[in-house]
Amino acid sequence: MHNSISKRSRALIRRETISAYLFLLPSLIFFIGFVIVPMFMCLGASFFNYTMTDFEFIGLGNYVEMFQDSIFIKAFVNTVVIVVVAVPAVTVFSLWVGAAIYPMHAVSRSFFRCVFYLPVVTGTVAVAVVWKWMFNKYTGLFNYVLDGAGVIDQNISWLGDEKTALWCIILILFTTSIGQPIVLYVAALGNVDASLVEASKVDGATNLQTFWKIKWPSIMPTTLYILVITTINSFQCYALIQLLTSGGPNHSTDTIMYYIYYQAFKLNRYGYGNAMGVFLAIVIALFSIIQFRLTKAGNVD
Amino acid sequence: MKKLIATLLVGVMSLSLIACGAEKETKVEETKDETLQTEETQETSESTEAVEADITLWTYPIGKFADAETVNGFIATFNEKNPGINVSVEYLDYTSGDDQVTAAIEAGTTPDIIMEGPERLVSNWGAKGKMVDLSDLWDAEAMEDIALTSKAIVTACQSPDGVFYEYPLCMTTHCMAINYEMFEAADALQYINEDRTWTTENFEKAMQALKDNGVETTGVVYCGGQGGDQGTRALASNLYSAKFTNEAHNEWTMNQEAGVKGLQKLVDLSNAGLLSYDAGAVASDELQLFANGTIAMSFCWNASNEAQYASSVAFTPYAVAFPSEDGTPELCGGIWGFGIFDNGDDVKVQAAKKFIEFIADDEVQGPLSVQSTGFFPVRASYGNVYTGTADEARMSVYAEFMKYLSDYYNVAPGWAEQRTAWWNLLQQIFGGEDVQTATDNYVKISNEATLAASNS
């Protein structure tokens, strides 16, 4: 009797498992076809001198060249600067805004969520054009305001000056990156167990203590997700560079993604571009692992 | 469970059978097609009227060749004579057009015909073996007619080993423009000759006059990207009559005395506050500033730009040549025409050639095609295609500049790398780097790219 139940339940589990896999199959086919296979093709092509006319095996030649390429090194440094500045800034600011608007009335909360989410749903080209107008050396809003306030006596070419261009890119990236984290933090804060918060208040905890001891650990999975997604997006910063600076002035805004595009599409050096793509994927994976480890260490069950 | 697996297996087998069947059918059809194509090719050689094919044209925004209504009108006229050839068009832009073509080449989905200049058709895609030899379009009559306008056009449309990858339609010389009223108010028109040329010395005097008259920004040397870089190249090279390449177009020469002197002059003018530079702007930004009346001159001007901005400016844009030491400019040319991608289909190639011949050579359509570009015909026999049109007076000004057409060095191998190196060079010298050192580096990068492209 017991045996037959066990057999039946095993059959049911197997049937459910097969059904689940069948449901997954269409997505899996697309995932394998458009993600996994291109990844391996990219890896394979990175060992070739692959251009519009050549396809010759060169082993690690592209990788060796990559680390001797001063522009690639500069692009890598710029990319790391963007990540190191943008990711913490986006995370902290989003958490602050999320915490500030979460207790508000539903209407006000929705209003602020919409305001901060607007740059996310606005097309990158439209966002870039508006920022370009504001940064314009001759007719831009920034120079107009700063000049009017007496802060500057000579117009600044914000996107054309090595000292300011990368920071302008980071600022735009920041504004387009905070929308989703804010929405996620508001949702995550709404899911924090209210009884725990009330208990801590009864025990005499301050607001800060309640936040750090109760809320922060509860929203840690959301923080991890935001960190990983923002890191990946920052590493892959390309469209803003393409639309605003083309990597200039003097390579000061070159990022790895833009340099991959330049090598692959402008110079038709697909193999070299692929090698840089593989390197970028490895770096992103490493950063993500570190973030997983750090946030896991700080997590409280 | 067994039923499920059996059903799946049957499904997979059925799909395989269908796929195999489809493949066989395709092959049969392909074989039929091949037979037909062979027959058609033979027929084509016997009678040029019998070509039937669906072909695609990709065109960059060259005047009204960016306008679907105009192009569809041309195709409709073409189809009156060639009803069997269907032409579908895709309109490219200069921001993403090259990327689209690159992706198409790698995916094997290139169009049959593409419309652009020799720097792409000849020295890039042609040199990489992607284009069809168009020597048969270049018959003796065409060769003679086009050479009468300029031998540089004939040279530009062929590879160093003499293969023609482009059949040209139109051309122009790029020039600069001034805000007439601003110059008049500053009494700076005196520095421009009647024939719209001027010397480097007078150019500097005009800058000073504008500045003295309260013009905050006279002109902007834009160097935020490659867009419109022909303007900054022409400005820098003309100041002291420098050459960008040697005659064979296989060596870059701007690091020689005249080139460095011209670049140094631009830096000096900038340092003196007589000229501005902006590493955050490209030609379109500069043109907008000019159109707004924010700056007094544009370094990226031609007949087409004047037509485009004519209705939106509140001043008189006055086309002038680039200043040079002796007052005789050497203007960069622009040549536009057609190339055919080698898609391995002779019938389509024949159809594409018929279309090109119609658009460029037909005695009625040819001049109309040129008119639609807003430029000048490469065929001398077309004469003034703007006679009797509303554009006649405007175009006659630009026609006068044609005699200053200089060497078309845009066909130098490694052109793409050189373009990036150029605006980076401008950014470096305006950023304070030594002009000679930076220009040497630019020449080194460009020469390496040219050598690599020549050897590939």
- The answer to whether B356 touches B113, Cβ cutoff 8 Å, is yes
- Type and span of the H or E element at A14: helix A2-31
Same domain, A29 and A106: no
Side-chain half-sphere exposure of A297, counting CA atoms within 13 A? 5
Test B106 with A51 for CB contact under 8 angstroms: no
Q: Determine the Cα angle at A172 with ends A168 and A175, to 5°.
A: 140
pLDDT of residue B195: 94
A contact set with B (CB within 8 A): 11, 14-15, 18, 51-54, 135-139, 157-162, 165, 244-246, 248-251, 262, 265-268, 270
Q: Give the whole-angstrom CA distance, residue A218 versus residue A299.
A: 8
CATH topology of domain B48-172+334-399: D-Maltodextrin-Binding Protein; domain 2 (3.40.190)
How many Cα atoms occupy the beta-carbon half-sphere of A272 within 13 Å?
22
- Give pLDDT, residue B152: 87
* Residue type (1 letter), B237: S
The answer to whether residues A46 and A271 touch, using CB atoms and an 8 Å cutoff, is yes
Q: Do A249 and B279 touch (CB under 8 A)?
A: yes
Which segments of B50-164 does DSSP mark as H helices, in order?
A: 68-81, 97-107, 118-120, 140-149, 151-156
Flag if A53 and B456 touch (Cβ within 8 Å): yes
Q: Are residues A166 and A291 in the same domain?
A: yes
Do the Cβ atoms of A210 and A277 come closer than 8 Å?
A: no
Give the tokens for residue A207: 């607001």
pLDDT at B226: 87
Asked if A76 and A18 sit in the same domain, the reply is: no
Cα–Cα distance for residue pair B291/B299, rounded to 1 Å: 12
d(CA B415, CA B230): 12
DSSP B63: G
Instruction: Assess contact for B77 and B83: CB atoms under 8 A.
Output: no
Is the same domain home to A9 and A99? no
Q: How many Å apart are CA B448 and CA B31, to the nearest integer?
A: 47
**Which pair of structure tokens corresponds to residue A213?**
């001891």
Mutate to test the interface with B, among A138, A153, A169, A263 (most CBs of B within 10 A): A138
> Could you check whether B48-172+334-399 and B175-330+413-455 share the same CATH topology?
yes
CB-CB under 8 Å, A54 with B280: no
Is A268 part of a structural domain of the chain?
A: yes
Shared-domain flag, residues A284 and A161: yes
Distance from CA of A90 to the nearest CA of B (A): 26
Q: Are residue A171 and residue A243 in the same domain, yes or no?
A: yes
Would residue A285 count as lying in a domain? yes
Nearest to A248 by CA among B431, B263, B219: B431
Alpha carbon dihedral B124, B129, B135, B136, in 10-degree steps, equals -130
Selecting from A52, A136, A265 the residue whose C-beta is nearest the C-beta of B99 gives A265
Partners of A51 on chain B (C-beta within 8 Å) are: 456
Cα-Cα-Cα-Cα dihedral sign, residues B6, B11, B17, B23: negative
Q: How far is CA A197 from CA A134, A212, B218, in A?
A: 44, 11, 65
Looking up tokens 């390496």 gives B448
| pLDDT for the residue B312 | 83
Residue B102 at interface with chain A, using a CB cutoff of 8 Å: yes
Q: Give the nearest chain A residue to B295 (CA atoms).
A: A138
Structural tokens at position B455: 């050897």
CATH number for A75? 1.10.3720.10
What number of other Cβ atoms are within 10 A of residue B246's Cβ? 13
Count how many residues are written for chain A.
Answer: 301
Range B175-330+413-455 classified under CATH 3.40.190.10: yes
Q: Which of A129, A169, A265 to mutate to test the interface with B (most CBs of B within 10 A)?
A: A265
Q: Chain A: give the shortest CA distance to residue B193, in Å.
A: 30
| Strand boundaries in B365-430, DSSP class E | 376-377
Q: Which residues pair with B113 in a beta bridge?
A: B57, B340
pLDDT at A292: 82
Residue B342, classified by CB atoms within 10 Å of its CB into exposed (0-12), middle (13-18) or buried (19+), is middle
Within an 8 Å CB–CB cutoff, is residue B106 touching chain A? yes
Low-confidence stretches of chain B (pLDDT < 50) are: 1-48
Is there a single domain that holds both residue A16 and residue A160?
no
Of A18, A53, A160, the CB nearest to B224: A160
- Residues A95 and A23 grouped into a single domain: no
pLDDT tens for each residue of chain A, 301 residues long: 556 667 778 888 999 999 999 999 999 999 999 999 999 999 999 999 999 888 999 999 999 999 999 999 999 999 999 999 999 999 999 999 999 998 888 899 889 988 999 888 888 899 999 999 999 999 899 999 999 999 998 899 999 999 999 999 999 999 999 999 999 999 999 999 989 989 998 988 898 899 888 999 999 999 999 999 999 999 999 999 999 999 989 899 999 999 999 999 988 999 999 999 999 999 999 988 988 888 765 554 4
- At A3 the pLDDT is 63
Asked whether residue A47 is domain-assigned, the answer is: no
Torsion-angle region of B187 (φ positive above 0: left; ψ -120 to 50: alpha; else: beta): left
Rounded distance, CA B428 to CA B264, Å?
12
Using a CB-CB cut-off of 8 Å, the residues of chain B touching A53 are: 128-129, 456
Residue recorded with tokens 């291109």: A38
End-to-end CA distance of chain B: 59
DSSP-derived secondary structure for B203-258: HHHHHHHHHHTT-SB--EEE-SSSTTHHHHHHHHHHTTT--SB-TTSSSB-TTSHH
Window 178-197 of B, Cβ < 8 Å to A: none
CA distances to A91, A112, A201, A211, B442 from A87, rounded to whole Å, are 6, 21, 32, 21, 36
Tell whether A11 and A64 lie within a shared domain: no
From A136, which residue of chain B is nearest by alpha-carbon distance? B280
Pairwise CA distance, residues A158 & A143, whole Å:
9
Angle ∠(B276,B277,B283) on CA atoms, nearest 5: 115
CA angle B277, B283, B122 (to 5 degrees): 125
- Chain A and chain B share a number of CB contacts under 8 A equal to 89
pLDDT of residue B371: 94
Burial (Cβ within 10 Å: 0-12, 13-18, ≥19) of residue A70: exposed
Q: How many CB atoms lie within 10 A of CB B46?
A: 9
Report yes or no on A44 lying in a domain.
Answer: no
Q: What burial letters (b/e) apply to A18-40, b meaning 16+ CB within 10 Å?
A: eeeeeeeeeeeeeeeeeeeeeee
* Measured distance CA(A53)–CA(A43) in Å, rounded: 20
Residues with Cβ < 8 Å from B19, sequence gap 6 or more? none
In a domain, A45, yes or no: no
- B311 closest CA partner among B385, B390, B384: B390
Domain that holds residue A233: 58-298
In a domain, A48, yes or no: no
Residues 6+ apart with CB under 8 A from B7: none
Enumerate the residues of chain A whose CB falls inside 8 A of the CB of residue B292. Answer: 139
- Residue A107, domain member (yes or no): yes
- Would the CB atoms of A139 and B292 count as touching at under 8 Å? yes
Residue ranges of the domains in chain B?
A: 48-172+334-399, 175-330+413-455
Cβ neighbors of B212 (< 8 A, separation 6 or more) are: B186
Contact A53 B129 (CB under 8 A): yes
- Residues A170, A238, single domain; the answer is yes
How many domains does chain A fold into?
2
CA distance A67 to A150: 45
Q: Which residue of A has its CA nearest to B290?
A: A138
- A110 and A5 housed in the same domain: no
CB B299, CB B316: distance < 8 Å: no
Query: What number of helices (H) and strands (E) belong to chain B?
Result: 17, 11
CA distances for A85 relative to A76, A298, B446, angstroms: 14, 21, 35
Contact between A182 and B297 under an 8 Å Cβ cutoff? The reply is no
Could you tell me if B105 lies within 8 Å of chain A, comparing CB atoms? yes
Q: Which residue, among B74, B88, B81, B126, has the nearest Cα to B105 in the 3D structure? A: B126
Prior bond of B367 cis (ω within 30°) = no
Listed in sequence order, the residues at least 6 apart from A116 whose beta carbon sits closer than 8 Å to its beta carbon are A97, A178, A179, A182, A183
Do residues B70 and B366 lie in contact, with contact meaning Cβ atoms separated by under 8 Å?
no
Asked if residue A65 and residue A28 are part of one domain, the reply reads: no
The predicted complex's ipTM stands at 0.78
Name every chain A residue with its beta carbon within 8 A of the beta carbon of B423: 246, 248
